[in-house]
Chains A and B, each alone.
Chain A
Amino acid sequence: RASVPVVINTWPFKDAAAAAWSVLRSGGSALDSVEKGCARCEIEHCDGSVGYGGSPDESGETTLDAMIMNGNTMEVGAVADLRRIKNAIGVARAVMELTEHTLLVGESASVFAENMGFIAEDLTTNNSVNIFLQWLKGNCQPNYRKNVFPDPSKTCGPYKPRTILKQKGRTRQANTRSHD
Chain B
Amino acid sequence: TIGMIALDKDGHVAAGTTTNGLTHKVPGRVGDSPIVGAGAYADSSAGAAAATGDGDVMMRFLPSYLAVELMRAGADPSAACKTAISRIKRHYSEFFGAIICANTTGHYAAACNKAPGLSQFHYMVSNSESDIPLLKTVDC
- Chain A interface (Cβ < 8 Å from any Cβ of B): 1-14, 16-18, 20-21, 23-25, 27-31, 33-35, 37-39, 41-42, 46, 49-52, 54-59, 61-72, 74, 76, 78-81, 88-89, 92, 102-103, 105-106, 131, 135, 140, 142-145, 170, 173-180
In the bound complex, residues from chain B placing their C-beta under 8 Å from that of A80 are: 30, 34
* Cβ of B7 under 8 Å from chain A: yes
22 contacts between A and B (CB under 8 A): A4-B105, A10-B52, A14-B124, A17-B125, A21-B131, A24-B6, A30-B12, A34-B14, A41-B18, A49-B20, A67-B16, A68-B15, A70-B12, A72-B12, A81-B29, A105-B30, A131-B23, A144-B26, A179-B22, A179-B52, A179-B54, A180-B55
Could you tell me if A66 and B13 are in contact, using CB atoms closer than 8 angstroms? Answer: no
Could you tell me if A5 and B36 are in contact, using CB atoms closer than 8 angstroms? Answer: no
Nearest residue, chain A, Cβ from B54:
A174
* Cβ of B74 under 8 Å from chain A: no
Could you tell me if A35 and B16 are in contact, using CB atoms closer than 8 angstroms? Answer: yes
Q: What bracket does the count of chain B residues touching chain A fall in?
A: 35 or more
Could you tell me if B100 and A176 are in contact, using CB atoms closer than 8 angstroms? Answer: no
Determine how close the nearest CB of chain A comes to the CB of B51; give it in whole angstroms. 8
In the bound complex, residues from chain A placing their C-beta under 8 Å from that of B23 are: 54-56, 131, 135, 177-178
Could you tell me if A6 and B6 are in contact, using CB atoms closer than 8 angstroms? Answer: yes
- Mark interface residues in B113-139 (1 if CB within 8 Å of A CB, else 0): 001111001111111110111010000
Alpha-carbon distance A30/B61, docked complex (angstroms) = 26
In the bound complex, residues from chain A placing their C-beta under 8 Å from that of B127 are: 3-7, 21
Determine how close the nearest CB of chain B comes to the CB of A124; give it in whole angstroms. 11
Could you tell me if B94 and A67 are in contact, using CB atoms closer than 8 angstroms? Answer: no
Nearest residue, chain A, Cβ from B42:
A71
Could you tell me if A173 and B94 are in contact, using CB atoms closer than 8 angstroms? Answer: yes
Known: A10-B4, A16-B4, A173-B115. 4 other contacts (CB 8 A): A38-B2, A66-B16, A71-B12, A180-B21
Alpha-carbon distance A1/B4, docked complex (angstroms) = 20
Could you tell me if B26 and A145 are in contact, using CB atoms closer than 8 angstroms? Answer: yes
Contact of A13 among B2, B12, B39 (CB under 8 A): B2
Could you tell me if B100 and A8 are in contact, using CB atoms closer than 8 angstroms? Answer: yes
Could you tell me if B16 and A89 are in contact, using CB atoms closer than 8 angstroms? Answer: yes
In the bound complex, residues from chain B placing their C-beta under 8 Å from that of A65 are: 17-21, 30-31, 33-34, 39
Could you tell me if A10 and B107 are in contact, using CB atoms closer than 8 angstroms? Answer: no
Determine how close the nearest CB of chain B comes to the CB of A97; give it in whole angstroms. 13
Determine how close the nearest CB of chain B comes to the CB of A94; give it in whole angstroms. 13
* Cβ of B98 under 8 Å from chain A: yes
In the bound complex, residues from chain A placing their C-beta under 8 Å from that of B66 are: none
Determine how close the nearest CB of chain A comes to the CB of B139; give it in whole angstroms. 15
